[in-house]
Structure 1
Amino acid sequence: INYLFTIATTCGVENRMEDGKITKALLKTRSGEFDIESIHTLNLRDCGLSDLGCISECTQLERLNLSRNDLTKLNKLAGLGNLSSLNLSGNRITNPEGLQALESLQSVNLAGNLIGSVNSLRCLTALDKLEDLRLHDPVRDLSNPLCHSNTYRKDVLDMLPNLKVLDGERILGLGSDVFSMCREIEESLERRQDVNSQQSSNPSPWVSNDYFEPTTKFEESRLGDAKEQLEALLSSCKMAVKKSEDVFVKLKKSTK
């Protein structure tokens, strides 16, 4: 208990003395490492930080949590060439400039900041290994001004085509088709509900009977494509099963 109290007290003292600046003493206290170059994982959540200080000296750092602080500038992260996971949620960042130097970065959480446009994320295009980006977190009620745009997801994915996960939702790889199909079904149901509501509240006898029907035929939509792909997959499965049964019968005859 005394050890934990000492750690908490030291952290508080360092924060007050250095005005929210990361110091070597703070790094050693929070990591338990005597040599800051040996730190691989570091949690500096909710420490009132506004200056990254000497964080760049943690050259072996791989996972870093800086959430719930007062950070605005990220340039001092340069030098963390081994960093793969970074949590910056709940800060006051308007532009993630500086992250482009983190060549090993695979996952970054920027939810709950002040990023106002997709163009502010342009620096992230230099990160070839970046696969997981979070700008919006509905569970923790964290977001960014740019997320209010109806097209922000498309715009982000157009800019960062290598992303596999955006806002916790898988975009590429296993499961991406399921997510896409579920979203499209939800949107289709919402449109249908809106149409039904309009029909019941504002009847329009002067329009044609098919006026309120969806303009895109099911067969021409992505749902239709998914249906065809599913049918093709089922057909190939049936053929594989039939082939396996034939092979089994031949093997059974040859063993007699």
Structure 2
Amino acid sequence: MAAGDGRITKQMLKCRTGEFDLESIHTLDLKEMDIGDLGCLGECTGLERLDLSRNDVTRLYALASLTNLITLNLSANRICSLEGLQALDNLESLNLAGNLLGSVGDLRCLSSLEKLTDLRLRDTIHDIANPMCMSLTYKKDVPTILPTLQVLDGERLSGKGSELFKLCNEIDQTLEDGKPRDGPVKEYPKAQPWVPKDYWTKKSKKMDGFENSSIHDAEEQLKELLGSCRVLSEQAEESVYSSLMRNTTSLENT
């Protein structure tokens, strides 16, 4: 369902969700709808999950009233300023991969978001990033501006699993600088998407209650850690293979 003239309207939102009152909408999936104007989206004040990925969005001021937002996907748009997001006090997870953010300084307006723990600026699965990711130090610079971050681009900076990431990064560097180990290169599972495929699907109240249980929270943390390990394994595989190819080429030239 396209957005027509690229503007979000009340009629479009009602048809999309089946809700009569915009305030009653809690989850909204608007990806790949050629949206360039957020229109009346700011009236959906009950929104907790919003997916606006792969559109033509440039300005975010209309999102300032969505103070209940927990998860926001803005990947693959044309955003060069994050003004408007500083009001989202409950925001925990934000995907900005594939936009036009030129420097780490563009993230300063997010520094007041104390609940923001998960930020994505680069997505290796879909091969999209921001110009700032060209800097070799951006992964070190971002946490200085956003000290509450625990996960950046799918890699843990703090909390459970962070020690594993640091160790694997050191191993990757060692493999990059040294000689490859003998034996065939082992294949590892591919990295997982930012959120599960059914994340934007409306769920029953019974399921919502289950999600709030401590058991489910622990299960989600385990899944997140396993997904992170898969990403690291793939990175290690690539480092070993690159080092092997360089050494093979060097031997052939001697």
Q: TM-score with structure 2 length normalisation?
A: 0.70
Q: 2:14 matched to 1:55?
A: no
Q: Distance in 2 between matches of 1:160 and 1:191?
A: 31
- Please tell me whether residue 174 in structure 1 is matched to residue 185 in structure 2: no
Looking at structure 1, the residues matched to 159 and 168 of structure 2 have their Cα atoms a distance apart, in angstroms, of 16
Where do 1:129-168 residues align within 5 Å? 129-168=115-154
1:116 and 2:102 equivalent? yes
**Could you tell me how far 1:189 is from its partner in structure 2?**
2.1
TM-score (norm 1): 0.69
Counterpart position of 1:44: 30
Alpha-carbon deviation of 1:158? Answer: 1.2
Query: Hey, what's the Cα distance between the residues in 2 that align with 1:98 and 1:34?
Result: 26
The code of the aligned residue for 2:88 comes to L
3-state secondary structure, aligned to 2:143:
helix
Partner of 1:26: helix, strand, or coil? helix
Could you tell me the percent identity over the aligned residues?
Answer: 58
List, as ranges, runs of 4+ consecutive aligned residues in structure 1 with deviation greater than 4 Å: none
Tell me by how many angstroms 1:192 deviates: 2.6
Q: How far has the Cα of 1:37 moved from its partner? A: 0.7
Distance in 2 between residues matched to 1:192 and 1:125, nearest whole Å? 39
Within 5 Å, give how 1:1-256 maps onto structure 2. Answer: 8=1, 12=2, 15-16=3-4, 19-193=5-179
Question: Aligned residue pairs: how many?
Answer: 184
Q: Which runs of 5+ in 1 are unaligned?
A: 1-7, 202-256
Please give the per-residue CA displacement for 1:103-155, whole angstroms capped at 9, x wherever unaligned.
Answer: 11000000011111000111010111100000000111111110011000000
- Bigger radius of gyration: 1
Question: Higher RCO, 1 or 2 (CA under 8 Å, sep at least 6)?
Answer: 2
Q: How well do the aligned residues superpose, as a CA RMSD in angstroms?
A: 1.6
